[in-house]
Amino acid sequence: MFMVNDKMCIGVSGDNLLCRFDPLQQEEVTTKTGFQPMVMKGKILKGYCYVNPAGFQREEDFQYWVSLCLAYNPTAKRSKKKKAATAIERK
């Protein structure tokens, strides 16, 4: 997982890229080769996707995904940090 400004930006999941992008671009992104929606609890998670290797084999395709994720990062929200459990809570 690659973090930029303390926010998840792009990563690798098995053979796939894991991308975080502007949810407003969901429709455009779904048309790209290799796109696979991220599904959680039976619902598509807008603004996140997997890209299988067919979608980033060419340098220009890989650059598309990296640029897409980096462009969204400045406006993306940070995930809330989980509070570390105290010794009492761990028991």
Q: How many angstroms separate the CA atoms of 89 and 91, rounded? A: 6
Give dist(CA 52, CA 13) in Å, integer. Answer: 10
Give the tens place of pLDDT for each residue, 11-20: 999 999 999 9
Asked if 10 contacts 69 with a C-beta cutoff of 8 angstroms, the reply is yes
Band of the pLDDT at 82, cuts 50, 70, 90?
Answer: low
pTM above 0.85, yes or no: no
Quick one: tokens of 61? 């395709």
CA-wise closest residue to 50 among 67, 71, 29? 29
Convert the pLDDT of each residue in 26-57 to its tens digit: 999 999 999 999 999 999 999 999 999 999 99
Residue 79 or 2, more confident: 79
